[in-house]
Amino acid sequence: NNKEKREVIFKRAEKYVQEYREQEREKVRLARVARESDSAYVPAEANLIFLIRIKGINKIAPKPRKILQLLRLLQINNGVFIRVTKATTEMIKVIEPWVAYGYPNLKSIKELIYKRGYGKVNKQRIALTDNSIIEENLGKYGIICMEDLIHEIYTVGPNFKQAANFLWPFKLSNPTGGFRPRKFKHFIEGGDLGNREEKINALIRQMN
């Protein structure tokens, strides 16, 4: 019944909020401990990447083309969530000249999914207007609502692969103010390509 389901969803959302808060507090605490003991705070190794295709496919060799297809980055400004593994790290090295990427925070993940989240249902791109769409497709993995989906992506949970594949690649806009003038140079050389770590969140905001 709907009322019971709403209560379940509400309780889950509350539990996640609590969990996210505790994680934030722990980060702040570790950073403070590091400051007090005069050592650098190194955040846990990021295991989630958001990858954005920012370059077209003119004159692209077969291998990077294949990888871009495999990662579903078929058009400029397409974005996808990817788990960091040895295999995906190798793939990203090959396609670095076509993509911008980094470590998305919770705010970015929420904003992307709420604003531009579409599910893949029978090969169709369906807007996530209703939790029932999520439940019908991911319910068997215990994912029944938007907050479950966000939690699975953010924590790179046990059913991350199913959740990430259910999400249609995000169709982003050109960034407000445009890309950098030297867009096709690496980020550290003043361009837009490659790994920008936490700074991906600013780009997501400009493109969402």
Predicted local distance difference test score (pLDDT) of residue 42: 65
Predicted local distance difference test score (pLDDT) of residue 182: 82
Asked whether residue 199 is domain-assigned, the answer is yes
pLDDT above 90 covers a percentage of the chain that reads 79
Phi (first) and psi of residue 26, to 5 degrees: -65, -40
* Confidence (pTM): 0.90
Asked whether residue 25 is domain-assigned, the answer is no
Asked whether residue 129 is domain-assigned, the answer is yes
Closest CA to 86 of 47, 42, 50: 47
pLDDT digits (tens, 9 = 90+) for 153-203: 999 999 999 999 999 999 999 998 888 888 889 998 989 999 999 999 999
Asked whether residue 203 is domain-assigned, the answer is yes
pLDDT digits (tens, 9 = 90+) for 80-95: 999 999 999 999 999 9
Asked whether residue 193 is domain-assigned, the answer is yes
Six token digits for residue 123: 């090969």
Per-chain mean pLDDT for the chain: 93
Which residue carries 């969530």 as its tokens? 81
- Rounded Cα–Cα distance for residues 196 and 207 (Å): 15
Quick check: helix, strand or coil at residue 14? helix
Which residue carries 């389901």 as its tokens? 5
Domain that holds residue 98: 48-207
pLDDT of 37 > 90? The answer is no
**CATH number where 69 lies:** 3.30.1390.20
Predicted local distance difference test score (pLDDT) of residue 149: 98
Number of domains making up the chain: 1
Residue 160 CA to chain centroid, in angstroms? 11
Phi (first) and psi of residue 176, to 5 degrees: -60, 130
Q: Is the dihedral of CA 157, 161, 162, 164 positive or negative?
A: positive
Predicted local distance difference test score (pLDDT) of residue 1: 78
Predicted local distance difference test score (pLDDT) of residue 180: 84
